[in-house]
Amino acid sequence: MRLGIDIGGTKTDAVALDATGRVVERVRMATGFGPDAVVEVACAVADRLAAALGDAVHPFDAVGVGVPGLVEPGTGRVQHAVNLGVSDLPLADLLSVRLGVAVTVENDVNAAALGAYHLLGEERSMGFLNLGTGLAAGIVVGGRLWRGARGAAGELGHLPVDPRGARCACGQVGCIETLASGSAVARMWPTSAELPAVDLFDRAERGEREAVEVRDRLADGVAAAVRALMLTADVDTVAIGGGLSNLGERLHREVAAALQRSAAHSAFLASLELPTRVRLVPPGTAIAAVGAALATDTEETVH
């Protein structure tokens, strides 16, 4: 039995996977803020999962954890996890002492990429686009993460695509993230609505001109990220996940339309059939927690 824990900015999501990779139990708790609380909540979800499985002791042979921060290759040390209030924490070491088993720590987008690959039944290559507050991608080939020489593979959010666009938090101008992310929606579509992206799509579908323009800009941004992944790695499919993917089919349809528009005058781009190669991660799926558990298999790839 493997345990996967996704420590997000607000929720810690944990799953128990059996030997075939099937989710047999799932538990969610509010994430603690600061290093001690992060460790405590991770231990608490492990206890709850063990209890839900009817075990007094932990039945886990391996534990994988996904975190939104920089993870030092090989050591599982976490740095700059701003949303967790963690600046530098030897998370793998601390958890492994507490849980009495080897612990692997992985960046959350990479973990989600592995989870999406597994849950969508992909068998060859997949790019995973995480449309969260920011935009980042993970690349999985043959079930293994492709990290690149310095771990920057898939940092597509900071690929500039519009020299006249908005200034990005990274210092460049017109990065894809300034068009296709939760923070981009917040900037381009200021609203008091609880779910700005849903409000944007609702209004665009009612034909409000300004909403249509902003929605199309967002879809063009996501399409730019899909093209970048396809034209550099030529992955079989690109899966879209993250908070904005909760828009479901409405987002999928607009991204496919944007890809279609971009290929309208290019027989080359059209021949790649990009709209048919984009998939959506079903909303509510525990991809990052599942991927964190699966990452315990691929630890050697971090070196």
| Residues within the interface to Zn ion (CB under 5 A) | 158, 168, 170, 172, 175
Give me the least distance between CB of 116 and Zn ion, in Å please: 24
Task: Report CA-CA distances (Å) from 1 to 54, 94, 288.
Answer: 13, 21, 17
Give me the least distance between CB of 74 and Zn ion, in Å please: 28
Give me the least distance between CB of 175 and Zn ion, in Å please: 3
CA separation for the pair 225, 248 (Å, rounded): 18
Q: Which is nearer to Zn ion, 91 or 109 (CB)?
A: 109
Q: Which is nearer to Zn ion, 66 or 157 (CB)?
A: 157
Give me the least distance between CB of 215 and Zn ion, in Å please: 22
CA separation for the pair 191, 210 (Å, rounded): 13
Phi first, then psi, for residue 181 (nearest 5°) are -170, 170
Task: Report CA-CA distances (Å) from 55 to 24, 26, 104, 236.
Answer: 14, 15, 22, 41
CB-count exposure of residue 276 (10 Å: 0-12, 13-18, 19+): exposed
Q: Which is nearer to Zn ion, 46 or 135 (CB)?
A: 135
Give me the least distance between CB of 131 and Zn ion, in Å please: 15
Give me the least distance between CB of 167 and Zn ion, in Å please: 9
Place of tokens 């923070």: 183
Give me the least distance between CB of 176 and Zn ion, in Å please: 8
DSSP state of 59: -
Q: Which is nearer to Zn ion, 110 or 181 (CB)?
A: 181
CA separation for the pair 154, 142 (Å, rounded): 16
Q: Which is nearer to Zn ion, 64 or 157 (CB)?
A: 157
DSSP state of 247: G
CA separation for the pair 238, 167 (Å, rounded): 27
Query: How far from each other are the two terminal CA atoms of the chain, in whole angstroms?
Result: 25
Place of tokens 């538990």: 27
Q: Which is nearer to Zn ion, 108 or 177 (CB)?
A: 177
Q: Which is nearer to Zn ion, 70 or 212 (CB)?
A: 70
